[in-house]
Amino acid sequence: MPVHTSQGSQGSQGSQGRGVGLGLALGSAVAFGGSGTAAKPLIEAGLDPLHVVWLRVAGAALVMLPLAVRHRELVRRRPALLAGFGLLAVAGVQAFYFASIARIPVGVALLVEYLAPALVLGWVRFVQRRPVTRAAAVGVVLAVGGLACVVEVWSGLSFDVLGLLLALGAACCQVGYFVLSDQGSEAGEAAPDPLGVIAYGLLVGAAVLTVVARPWGMEWAVLGGTVRMDGAPVAAWLLLAWVVLIATVLAYVTGVVAVRRLSPQVAGVVACLEAVVATVLAWVLLGERLSAPQVVGGVGVLVGAFVAQRSGEAAGVVASGGEGVERELVVRSRR
């Protein structure tokens, strides 16, 4: 006899799937949010930011190596996706972000990265000369105005300019991350496995960073000692383990899988928690406190980013190659 599936059963399964996706997205936001807080004491103890990035990416690549072997067909099927993911989502975002937090507070660096949707819409409007919605323009204005408060422009740009530019570079790479991480989400069985993409992205990123960072000159002795986290001694290896296992492997896996289970709107809202988590952790554990205008500006950046992202989806604006951006404008920072 044929088996009939009721609409109620299908709806229940869909709700369960969304619930799992929401939980994964929340876990990813919390995991990613703690990366800068855990990495900064290592940098302040004497490790070069690029060396910390290399340790993070190379360690995660080793953990994910069995998955790379399992999904080795991706090298033949999607070489461009793997190369782009490794260069932008892994090496680019990580290097720019860690270099920026060596010069500016963790929370400020993350908030600068939330300009990513505004950057995409600006590129669509002024480079591709395509119209954007009024709501999208409002989102851009909110994000830029909020950033002005975060950096306190009335004080003559009180933060390190190079640090801000580095954070902006991470924002540009962040756009590429979401375009790539959502590739194939509507392709059914033909979609590349996200775990395989992550594994090869980490391998590519590790290879690139090995050339750039030259880890053989690293201060390895730092990893065997203790570092200071707002005055409290913490084992360096413990922070490194957190950065590699929780803030990289777990965060990437849960984040990419969540993007494919949730709508862009929901994922974008949940993603905003990452900046909140990072700012709170940096406040509590590193003593990096933001002023009241900076907090207000941070809210403006997050609201503006969400409005710009959601408006971009509704309008079907173009992010690259003349194709609709739609799901690609999910706003999530990947640190």
Of 48-57, 89-98, 319-328, the one with minimum mean pLDDT is 319-328
**Separation CA 130–CA 116 (nearest Å):** 18
How much is the pLDDT for 143? 79
Whether 59 is in a domain gets the answer yes
Backbone angles phi, psi at 231, to 5 degrees: 95, -20
**Separation CA 186–CA 116 (nearest Å):** 23
Query: Which residue has 């990289």 as its token pair?
Result: 248
Which residues are registered as beta bridge partners of 227?
234
Cβ atoms within 10 Å of 4's Cβ, excluding its own: 6
Give the H or E element holding residue 233: strand 232-235
> Does the pLDDT of residue 27 top 90, yes or no?
no
How much is the pLDDT for 6? 44
Cβ neighbors of 223 (< 8 A, separation 6 or more) are 236, 237, 240
Whether 97 is in a domain gets the answer yes
How large is the average pLDDT for residues 287-307?
Answer: 83
The more confidently predicted of residues 11 and 22 is 22
Whether 23 is in a domain gets the answer no
Whether 94 is in a domain gets the answer yes
What's this model's pTM, rounded to 2 decimal places? 0.77
**Separation CA 296–CA 239 (nearest Å):** 31
Structural domain harbouring 323: 28-329
The more confidently predicted of residues 155 and 217 is 217
Whether 335 is in a domain gets the answer no
In this structure, is the dihedral angle defined by the CA atoms of residues 123, 113, 204 and 328, taken in order, positive or negative?
A: negative
Q: Please count the structural domains in the chain.
A: 1
What is the number of residues in the chain? Answer: 335
Whether 284 is in a domain gets the answer yes
How much is the pLDDT for 21? 78
Q: Indicate the pLDDT class of residue 237, thresholds 50, 70 and 90.
A: very high
Evaluate whether 331 touches 268 at the Cβ level (below 8 Å).
yes
Of 144-148, 258-262, 295-299, 317-321, the one with minimum mean pLDDT is 317-321
Whether 163 is in a domain gets the answer yes
Whether 13 is in a domain gets the answer no
> Does the pLDDT of residue 132 top 80, yes or no?
no
Greatest Cα-to-Cα distance within the chain, rounded to the nearest angstrom? 76
**Separation CA 172–CA 119 (nearest Å):** 8
> Does the pLDDT of residue 144 top 60, yes or no?
yes
pLDDT > 90: percent of the chain = 32
> Tens digit of pLDDT for each residue in 165-214?
999 899 888 776 665 555 544 555 567 787 888 899 999 999 999 999 99
Average per-residue pLDDT for the chain: 78
